[in-house]
Amino acid sequence: MKMTKGRVYILSLLVFIALFLAACIRIDKPESETLPRSSENNAAETETVYPQKTKSINGVDYLLSRKPAGKYGGDIVISTIGEGPKTFNPWNSKDNTSSAASEIMFDSLVATDAYTGDVIPKMAKYIKTLPDKKTYIIELRKGLKWSDGTEITADDVVYTWNTIIFGGYGNTSTRDAMYINGQLPVVSKIDKYTVKFVTPKPFSPFLRQVGVPIAPKHVLKKVTDKGRRAFDSFWSSSVKPEELVTSGAFRLKEYVPAQRIVYERNPDYYIIDEKGQKLPYVDKYIMLIVGDLNNELLKFKSKELDMVGLRGSNVSIFKEKEKHSDYKIYNLGPNTGTMYLGINMNDRKNASGKYYVAPVKQKWFNDINFRKAVDYAIDRENIVFNIAGGVGAPLFTPEPLSSIYLNEKVAKGHPQDMQKAAELLAQSGFKKDKNGTLRDKYGNKVEFDLYTNAGNTERESIGVMIKQDLEDLGMSVNFKPVEFNTLVNKLTNTKDWDMVILGFTGSPLEPYSGKNVWYSNGTLHLFNMRSEDEIVKLLPWEKRLDEIFDAAALELDFAKRKQLYEEYQQIIYDEKPLIYLYSPLLIYAVRKRFGNLHPTEIGGVMHNIEEIYIKD
């Protein structure tokens, strides 16, 4: 019945969707993964031509905007759901909201070009890759300053990497992704503005991994000297704006918990336009904390927001009104993030001797037939039709559908098959009693909790649908939306959860960014997370995933890397520790009042926030 309703509804959208799909941005597949693009001389350093230019004025190496000159003034207002950031320390952030709220204020050595996907300099003036493919010479722009007036130098770069990242302060995901055969790169200062990175072996994703915020050594060293606990609480969400020492286009002006984050332009930023005007143009960049997706949509309709993501039936409604409105709709193609149903396979005890997951559930969750049955029971097409209004596609792979490494075979997936699901359960001794309740071979009732983050109405709706699908198999599912920070604590600290609906950010250009999810000791290896001091025997396929990510990092040939990454996708599809659900198209409604707005599939709507200006 649900399938029928979806198909009837989708007929009204077919023409519209076809037009949208035809307009999707494509990413060309490169012949190799040597980034950035360059002309190489085997006897010399790599010479690279970058799309941006540098202009030196009075000792400052300014980065020239690639957009026409705009004008100053006005505000940009966007939104975030949930309760707001937990920290303004970007090196300690462990959630997307905190990362977005903090990283807007800090720049990195390099960035991903939103138009081509190449790695390009940002705070760096240029990058040289030596012929050994292991040595990188990075020269900083001269004259860059922290918001307190202190000059930004190579000392800040070396401190960021050697002390904060390699020292294990805050979120260790970047450090963990930099290990090469158990060794970390060597980072050293050549002179005041030049840094050398040397990797143990040629490391294919290296330049992308360098794109992390640089920290002010003169501020943070006294904090790291006190230890990790002091660092973890530094620049928390209760920090006074004037205490933040930043480098980005915007700096914090005001934070009102659960209401808004207000940033003001950095008047001494190092990007200038063709007229020599310092960017950014807008006076304020405001992030409203809207609570949930419905409230976000209402605020856009009431003109409190300048942009909103569109989902389901809202796409056709907004498209219909676009011609006579003050907004324009942009289709950025398939979501680069992935949404999944995670299953807790942890079969161990905590320090107090209590099991993270009840032993009876451990047997279910570690049974491949059980996990496959859950997968076959999920009606992905129904999710696409009724949650996304048909503007999306079923998802079966941990890589986004726009990935240049996508395993096309895995991406095809399979339809819902309740008979197949029942057969798989029967193979492991599960059967329904006379009341239709599913029981395992020992007579235990199959009942578990399913979590997601409250306020994300999309995930809440998906949870209701998956609950129904699994209850059709006889399972009893307690669906529990909870506050996001509480959920994160369950997943990463107490580990007392059964199943969860969540999403990961992703990249269509580099699967290695997901190493912290798939590597056996990764900080987001949620389905079987180990503590740092915990030695656990790996499952055979977990061991193979470790081998794949190690091998892919050292492989410079694109075709060979693709083969490795296709294998990892096949393993996840076969073993199903995370069951992928669907991929909506990224569709936004944005006010027409902006100049220099150029949304891309890679960068999103406001990737060039410093270049955007208000036209009227």
Tokens of 366: 């570690």
Domain residues for 501? 2-8+336-584
Tokens of 226: 């006190």
Q: Are 503 and 97 in contact (CB under 8 A)?
A: no
Alpha-helical regions (H) of 414-455: 418-427
Tokens of 156: 């800040």
DSSP for 541-560, written as a single string: HHHHHHHHHHHHHH---HHH
CB atoms within 10 A of CB 607: 18
Q: Are 448 and 361 in contact (CB under 8 A)?
A: yes
Confidence category of residue 120, pLDDT binned at 50, 70, 90: very high
| Helical pair 457-471 and 380-387, crossing angle rounded to 10 deg | 140
Residue 42 counted as domain residue: no
Residue 414 counted as domain residue: yes
Residue 30, pLDDT score: 32
Tokens of 360: 């009876």
Measured CA distances, 548 to 138, 514, 577 (Å)? 29, 12, 17
Residue 303 counted as domain residue: no
Residue 390 counted as domain residue: yes
Q: Are 308 and 548 in contact (CB under 8 A)?
A: no
Tokens of 22: 């035809």
pLDDT over 70 at 140, yes or no: yes
Where do the DSSP E strands lie in 497-599?
499-504, 578-580, 582-591, 594-595
Q: How many domains does the structure of the chain reveal?
A: 1
Query: β-strand 186-191 against 250-256: which pairing, if any?
Result: unpaired
Residue 151 counted as domain residue: no
pLDDT tens string 334-362: 988 899 999 999 988 877 888 889 999 99
Measured CA distances, 304 to 78, 211, 285 (Å)? 9, 33, 13
Residue 67 counted as domain residue: no
Residue 236 counted as domain residue: no
DSSP for 291-312, written as a single string: ESHHHHHHHHHTTS-SEEE--T
CATH number at 479 reads 3.10.105.10
Residue 39, pLDDT score: 33
Percent helix, strand and coil across the chain, each to the nearest 5 = 30, 25, 45
pLDDT tens string 226-242: 999 999 999 999 999 99
pLDDT over 80 at 375, yes or no: yes
pLDDT tens string 1-25: 222 222 222 333 333 333 333 333 3
Query: β-strand 431-432 against 594-595: which pairing, if any?
Result: unpaired
Tokens of 230: 């002091």
Query: Comparing C-alpha atoms, which of 136, 143, 158 is closest to residue 48?
Result: 136
SS3 170: coil
Residue 91 counted as domain residue: no
Residue 533, pLDDT score: 65
Q: Are 271 and 242 in contact (CB under 8 A)?
A: no
Residue 408, φ and ψ in degrees, nearest 5? -65, -35
Q: Are 294 and 171 in contact (CB under 8 A)?
A: no
pLDDT over 60 at 592, yes or no: yes
Beta bridge partners of 78: 287
Query: Comparing C-alpha atoms, which of 121, 127, 91 is closest to residue 109?
Result: 121
Q: What is the DSSP letter of 349?
A: B
pLDDT over 90 at 381, yes or no: yes
Helix (H) or strand (E) holding 450: strand 447-453
Tokens of 474: 């006889």
Residue 9, pLDDT score: 29
- What CA–CA distance (Å, rounded) separates 350 from 482? 23
CA angle 279, 283, 288 (to 5 degrees): 120
pLDDT tens string 190-202: 999 999 999 999 9
Q: Are 431 and 439 in contact (CB under 8 A)?
A: yes
pLDDT tens string 171-182: 888 998 899 888
pLDDT tens string 34-68: 333 333 333 344 556 788 899 999 999 999 999 99
Q: What count of residues does the chain have?
A: 616
Chain centroid to CA 523: how far? 14
CA angle 323, 324, 329 (to 5 degrees): 45
Residue 604, φ and ψ in degrees, nearest 5? 90, -160
Contacts of 277 (CB under 8 A, 6+ apart): 69, 72
Query: Comparing C-alpha atoms, which of 577, 546, 568 is closest to residue 410?
Result: 568
SS3 439: strand
CB atoms within 10 A of CB 30: 15
- What CA–CA distance (Å, rounded) separates 247 from 269? 8
pLDDT tens string 69-109: 999 999 999 999 888 999 999 999 988 889 999 999 999 99
Residue 253, φ and ψ in degrees, nearest 5? -110, -40
Residue holding tokens 């005007």? Answer: 277
Q: Are 389 and 13 in contact (CB under 8 A)?
A: yes
Torsion sign over Cα 115, 120, 125, 128: negative
Tokens of 501: 């609906």
- What CA–CA distance (Å, rounded) separates 606 from 608? 5
Torsion sign over Cα 568, 569, 570, 576: positive
More confident residue, 521 or 475: 475
